[in-house]
C-alpha cells in the first residue's frame, strides 16, 4: 500500500523559500506523476507541478520560482518555491498521479502541510 | 475564479439522489479531456471518487457515478447517506493552460 508522508517548514516570511519533502513508501515510483497540489480559500485546489520520468512540469503562474524533483534512491519528492508572498499561503499536498494521455488523476494523497507566509 | 464551474452547494435528504455539475469549456472538458472527481471531508485530503469520467476506484460505492458530455460533466450520488456530507471537486486537463485544473468545489449537505 502506497503511503505519502510529507513535512517542511510551516511558517515563512515574504521572500523566503518554501521547501517541502514527501516520502513515498510502498509501490513503484516509475510511470507515475509525482505531484504537488495546494489548497487555499482564495484559489481552491491548484495544481502547482509534478515530475514524471525525470521530467518536471510546472504551473505557468509559478514558473521561475518553482522546482520539483524526485530522488528515487531516497524515494523523496521535493518542492521548492522561492520568493514566497502571502499569496502562497496554503495547505500543500503531495500526491501520486496516474497519467492517461495528457490527463492524470490523483489516487494517493499525503495528509497536507500548512504553509503560512507573513510579511 | 476556477476553470471548471461547480455549484457552491447542493443538498438532499437521506435516500435521495443528487447530482453535482461541473461545467468547463472546449479547452478542458470539451477538448475532450477526461474528468475526475474527489471527495473531501473536513480536515482531510481529497480522495479519489471517480476517475476517467465514470470509473470507480476499488472500495468506492456504486452509489457514485460520473458522466461527461460536451463541455460538462456530472457526479450523481444515489441513496444519500449522512457520511456523504463533504466537499466534492471535479478535475480535468486544460489545453490552454497546459495544466490540470479543478472546479471550485461543491458542498453537499445531507438534510
Whole-number pLDDT of residue B49: 98
**Which residues from chain B sit within 8 angstroms of residue A95, using beta carbons?**
45
pLDDT given at position A63: 79
Residues of B in contact with A98 (CB under 8 A): 51
- pLDDT for residue A103: 81
Q: B98-108, pLDDT tens digit by residue? A: 999 999 999 99
Whether A79 and chain B come into contact, CB under 8 Å, resolves to no
The verdict on a CB contact (< 8 Å) between A47 and B105 is no
Pairing status of strand B106-110 against strand B9-12: parallel
pLDDT in tens, B43-78: 999 999 999 999 999 999 999 999 999 999 999 999
User: What residues in A contact B91, CB-CB < 8 Å?
Assistant: 45, 105-106
Residue written as cell 461547480? B6
Residue A102 to residue B99, Cβ atoms within 8 A: no
B52 Cβ under 8 Å from any chain A Cβ: yes
Closest CB to B36: pick one of A105, A109, A112: A105
Angle at B22 between CA B19 and CA B24, to 5 degrees: 155
Instruction: Sort out which chain A residues have CB atoms less than 8 A from B5's CB and list them.
Output: none
Question: Do A90 and A40 contact (CB within 8 A), yes or no?
Answer: yes
Q: How far apart are CA A54 and CA B66, in angstroms?
A: 33
pLDDT digits (tens, 9 = 90+) for A38-63: 999 999 999 999 999 889 999 999 97
Q: How many inter-chain contacts (A to B, CB under 8 Å) are there?
A: 60
B30 touches chain A (CB under 8 A): no
| CB proximity list for B95: less than 8 A, separation 6 or greater | A102, B27, B28, B31, B33
Is B6 strand, coil or helix?
A: coil
The model's pLDDT over A58-80, given as tens digits with 9 standing for 90+, comes to 999 997 999 999 999 999 999 99
Amino acid at each position: 500500500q502506497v503511503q505519502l508522508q510529507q513535512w517542511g517548514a510551516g511558517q515563512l516570511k515574504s521572500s523566503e523559500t518554501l521547501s517541502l519533502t514527501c516520502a513515498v513508501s510502498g509501490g513503484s515510483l516509475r510511470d507515475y506523476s509525482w505531484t504537488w497540489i495546494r489548497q487555499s480559500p482564495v484559489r481552491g485546489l491548484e495544481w502547482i507541478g509534478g515530475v514524471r520520468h525525470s521530467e518536471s512540469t510546472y504551473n505557468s503562474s509559478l514558473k521561475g520560482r518553482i522546482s520539483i524533483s524526485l530522488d528515487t534512491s531516497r524515494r523523496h519528492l521535493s518542492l521548492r518555491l522561492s520568493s514566497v508572498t502571502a499569496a502562497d499561503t496554503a495547505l500543500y499536498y503531495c500526491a501520486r498521479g496516474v497519467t492517461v494521455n495528457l490527463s492524470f488523476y490523483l489516487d494517493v494523497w499525503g495528509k497536507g502541510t500548512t504553509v503560512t507566509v507573513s510579511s | 475564479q476556477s476553470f471548471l464551474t461547480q455549484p457552491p452547494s447542493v443538498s438532499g435528504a437521506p435516500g435521495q439522489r443528487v447530482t453535482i455539475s461541473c461545467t468547463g469549456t472546449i479547452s478542458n472538458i470539451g477538448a475532450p479531456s477526461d474528468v475526475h472527481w474527489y471527495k473531501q471531508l473536513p480536515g482531510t485530503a481529497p480522495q479519489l471518487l471517480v476517475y476517467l469520467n465514470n470509473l470507480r476506484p476499488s472500495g468506492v460505492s456504486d452509489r457514485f457515478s460520473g458522466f461527461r458530455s460536451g463541455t460538462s460533466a456530472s457526479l450523481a450520488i444515489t441513496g444519500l447517506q449522512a457520511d456523504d456530507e463533504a466537499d466534492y471537486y471535479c478535475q480535468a486537463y486544460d489545453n490552454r493552460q497546459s495544466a490540470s485544473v479543478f472546479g471550485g468545489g461543491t458542498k453537499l449537505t445531507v438534510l
